[in-house]
Structure 1
Amino acid sequence: MSIGILGTKIGMTQIFDKDGLAIPITVIKAGPCTVIQIKNLSTNGYNAIQVGYLDKNQKKIKKSEQGHFNKSGSNVLSFLKEYPIEKPEDFVLGQKIKVNDFKIGQLVDVTGRTIGKGFTGLQKRHHFARGPMTHGSKNHRAPGSIGAGTTPGRVFPGKKMSGQHGNQNRMISKLEILGIDDKQSLLLLKGSIPGKPGNLVSIVPH
């Protein structure tokens, strides 16, 4: 049984296969996650489980949060996420979701938040070509025309322009699990995932 698990990106390394080829590896400390709430079709309109990850600072706990976690007998956790399921009866409140619920060779989808790069221009954000650098050109990195004049008299929504770059949720599909360390709750995935070390990630079977 493997549904979904939250984890923290540790970093990247590499291993060598039997032919001596280097394989890039992302190390993730995944779980253990606790089942905080079980939702079913009759009560909530859909089947899902809510899992929590990482103990929260005791000074930041609200009474309303404490009541929600008391139902499952769990400590107050920092992160909550729902995963859709088919059979809610297979889970119980307070159940632990661990890395050994996954299997070596299994393909998973990993969602994380990309590295934020701040306010960037067109070349960096949208890979625009720059203008001529010689012959008196004054258009090196400028955006140029962004729309017609009188008609429509405005800029259409979705126009590619300068702005916030990065810091968005991205999913990488079909990453293979090459190793599992249940003592330290580590998953070793083939390839890279979004974000920098320390970022929260969600891992679900493909």
Structure 2
Amino acid sequence: MLSQRRIFVSLGMLGNKVGMTQIFTEDGNANPVTIIKVGPCVVTQIKTTSTDGYNSIQIGYKQVPRQKLTKPELGHLDKTSIVPLKYLKEYPIDNVEDFTLGQIINVQDFEEGQFVDVTGKSIGKGFAGTIKRHHYTRGPMTHGSKNHRAPGSIGQGTSPGRVFPGKKMAGQLGAKQITVAKLKILKIDSKENLLIVKGAVPGKPGNLLSIKPTVKV
């Protein structure tokens, strides 16, 4: 039977990206790491197969003044007498019986050496050309060439006489939900609710992140 701690770890949590730095291991190797401020999160809703058709746990993160939320959001939280929370996220889980409304989940429910998947919104870079967006190579820079960073031909002539859907062209770059999988937890600071993972995570400092344990296949 799974321990209470292991059950919490399978749930996932919300947090904010603090920034990147590097730490040194005992053998002198430098590891690039990201510092994430995680939780504490509150269990705001428990969904079961009998009532909702599936099992899941909804958690809330970051307390805010009541004026910051809409009436439907406040009504949802007031039903269970939970403080106003800015972010809500749902995680599917098998054993909902191990959770109670209002239960606090924090960074201590993770373990050093564990692997996690981090999901967040990547940095928006605006309208970008094909070289920056799709890593196209540039044209010649000499001999009178006027095709330096231009995209070039985008299709045939009379037949078929159109551009195929999905053609890689200039457009919006970034600002998409990205998941970086299998990042190793190197250190945990329980006092400051900090999670230190090896590698980079999506977004800029302050970005909202979802941290979920990597599922072993």
What is the TM-score of this pair, normalised by structure 2? Answer: 0.91
2:167 corresponds to which residue?
Answer: 159
Show the 5 A alignment for 1:82-161. Answer: 82-161=90-169
Q: In the aligned structure 2, how far is the partner of 1:92 from the partner of 1:158?
A: 47
Q: Secondary structure at the match of 1:64?
A: helix
Q: Secondary structure at the match of 1:59?
A: helix
Deviations along 1:172-195, one digit per CA (max 9) or x if unpaired, are 111111111122111111111111
Q: In the aligned structure 2, how far is the partner of 1:124 from the partner of 1:204?
A: 31
Show the 5 A alignment for 1:35-74. Answer: 35-74=43-82
1:202 corresponds to which residue?
Answer: 210
Q: In the aligned structure 2, how far is the partner of 1:60 from the partner of 1:88?
A: 30
Question: Number of aligned pairs?
Answer: 206
Deviations along 1:156-180, one digit per CA (max 9) or x if unpaired, are 2111000011111111111111111
Alignment identity in percent?
Answer: 62
Q: In the aligned structure 1, how far is the partner of 2:174 from the partner of 2:65?
A: 29
Native 8 Å contact 2:66 2:74 kept in 1: no
Q: In the aligned structure 1, how far is the partner of 2:170 from the partner of 2:204?
A: 23
2:28 corresponds to which residue?
Answer: 20
Deviates more, 1:169-178 or 1:119-128: 169-178
What is the TM-score of this pair, normalised by structure 1? Answer: 0.96
Runs (5+) with no aligned partner, structure 1: none
Deviates more, 1:55-64 or 1:80-89: 55-64
TM superposition shift of 1:28: 0.5
Q: In the aligned structure 1, how far is the partner of 2:120 from the partner of 2:72?
A: 28
